[in-house]
A and B are shown apart, each in its own frame.
Chain A
Amino acid sequence: MNQYSDDTAPADLVAGDHVAGRLYTDPDIFEREMTAIFESTWVWVAHESELATPGSFKSTHVGRQPVIVTRDRKNNLHTMLNRCRHRGASVCEKPQGRANGFTCPYHAWSYGLDGTLRGIPYPDGYEGVVEKRELSLRKLRTESYGGMVFATLDEDVEPLADFLGDAKLWIDRFMKQGGGYPIKVLGKHQFRFKGNWKIQLENTTDGYHFPIVHRSWMASVDAETADMMSFMTDPEAITHDLGHGHSVMQMVPGHADLDVDDGSEPLQGRFDELAAELAKSFSDAEVRRLLRAMHGTGFNLNLFPNVAMSSAFFRVLRPVAVDETVIEHIAIGPDGPSELDPLNRERLRIHEHFQGPFGFGTPDDAEGWDRVQRGARAEPAMPILVNRGSAREKTSAEGWPTSHVTDETGMRAAYNQWKRMMRDD
């Protein structure tokens, strides 16, 4: 089977329910994705809690371009290319921290938190040559929704709220796992795998692999947690295509909206000790609300192209090369009084159990993805199938194409967006 010739236009390599294997292996396609996707749409750069106070910053990437995200003295968020306007040195090499601004180490041009060029040493050589105000760090449009901060290199792209569209409702629901408190970042795991970024993009909406790849994790958790993740044959467990490449996969539909609680669900026994500890400071209702959210929400919300709000954490992908991707697993928890510390400690332990380079889940995912990248080199023109459940897909009352949680509806949603963005026109 070889339905794609070498000169097939990239957008035509995606056909609804199958895509060419070359999408994982072709360096030319990767180059085009960097501009047509990662430099042309909203890319997640931070959670607001990472920039909690004026003067805080974080360095990260938009596609392959290094950026700094800052909060200035007036509380405004900025995203700027991490590249000096003189001869191109990076102005910040710290992953995060606090600063009054950034001074380039090479010739000490200094920039404010909003990227404004403040000072040039020995400025006489520049008299009549440069205008300081034209040499701010290159700024990216930056907007946020529900604490999620996105930036884009495309000045003319639609407002973030429009791009998120129906995903906004699910962002609101996701944040309810704070149990009445805002969410804050507790720490992050980072790992790299030798594979294409879209393999990870697919995976956050892949319910099908869970009991197979994560059998080792399932075998290591308590029966209640294993039972919670036993969605394979649950007809209520469904995935919606939310438009713009976004999708939501509901593994635990009863936890889709954590405010909905008829009180019938028992709290997991593993949290008994924690419940007793919290009961010293919180009402029974508050404790119940916090503990029902210990595993996060009951869904993975996948936002095209680089972030998933995945049960109890954020999963961020960064394309490095056609066959190399860096992933962050960012642990989160409620941002409140110190009486919540025991709860956040437990959330850290739950996160460590599955996620990260030595978790009980992540290395097995990474092995699966490594195998996809290696296998896809065999005849890259052959299709990758993302057709599972396409015959049982229905439109939900909200108008979302919907199918079972093990189906590949979310992947089809992402590839449809990919196709729209990779078109030549």
Chain B
Amino acid sequence: MTEATAAAAVAEPVSTTDPMVARAIDLVWREAELLDRADYVRWNELFTGDGLYVVPIDPDTDDFENTLNMVYDDARMRELRVGRMTEGYAIAAVDAARTVRTVSRFVPDSVSGTEVVLRSAQVLIAYKRRRHDIWAADLTHRVRLSADGPAGDRIARKVVRLVDSEDAVPAAGFLL
């Protein structure tokens, strides 16, 4: 490969200061705070009606439908999950770890007038009963931008790839 073709193959990187990307990052951070506050009802409102929330096990697959995942939620399952997290019957959720998560290392994957696909890193510390657990993950958000402005921006797809997804992790009373 000549230098010229190699250069042509590399797309111009999109800056995180791109206004569309900045809106997507704002949404991801709002989402992260809602999860740390266990405000699951408002968290769920951030998703589109056809939105998917996935925590896969297999690090190499995008075919979530045909593989076993830790979480594979469409709107119906998310609704049930929010019910579980908030209704007070689930002893794991009632006594859940407190979490603080940092989302950073944003890299825009693609940007159009209506949609941003954003990759990022999430480091989450979960504290419960004198133990701090670390949960590290790569995130991908597909954010649908609203013509009406940032308040209408929604998550069409969120994929959380834990670095240890193929290993044993603690059973959790919170969401990633």
Contacts and interface: CB of A to CB of B under 8 A. Distances in A.
Contacts of A368: 91
Interface of A: 95, 186-194, 213, 215-217, 219-220, 326-328, 331, 341, 344-345, 348-349, 351-353, 356-358, 360, 362-368, 370, 374
A363 B72 contact: no
Contact of A345 (B65, B91, B95, B166): B65
B121 interface: no
B87 A219 contact: yes
Interface string B56-99: 01100000011111111000010011011001011111010000
A34 to B, nearest CB: 19
B145 to A, nearest CB: 29
Interface residues of A, dominant DSSP: helix
B55 interface: yes
B168 A192 contact: yes
10 contacts: A187-B57, A188-B57, A189-B68, A219-B83, A348-B66, A348-B67, A352-B69, A352-B70, A357-B171, A360-B84
Contacts of B175: 358
Contacts of B67: 187, 348
A331 B69 CA distance: 11
Contacts of B168: 190-192, 326-328
B90 A364 contact: yes
Interface residues of B, number: 35
Contact of A216 (B90, B129, B169): B90
A189 B57 contact: yes
A358 B172 contact: yes
Interface of B: 55, 57-58, 65-72, 77, 80-81, 83-84, 87, 89-93, 95, 129, 131, 166-173, 175-176
A85 B167 CA distance: 27
Contacts of A186: 68
B48 to A, nearest CB: 20
Nearest to A221: B80
B170 to A, nearest CB: 6
A95 B166 contact: yes
B68 A367 contact: no
B169 A192 contact: yes
Contacts of A345: 65-66
User: Chain B CB within 10 Å — which of A326, A328, A366, A374 has the most?
Assistant: A366
A147 to B, nearest CB: 19
Contact of A351 (B68, B167, B173): B68
Contacts of B83: 219-220
B68 A357 contact: no
A213 B91 contact: yes
Nearest to A351: B68
Given A363-B92, A367-B91, 12 more contacts: A187-B58, A187-B67, A190-B167, A190-B168, A191-B169, A215-B90, A216-B90, A341-B66, A352-B70, A356-B70, A364-B92, A367-B95
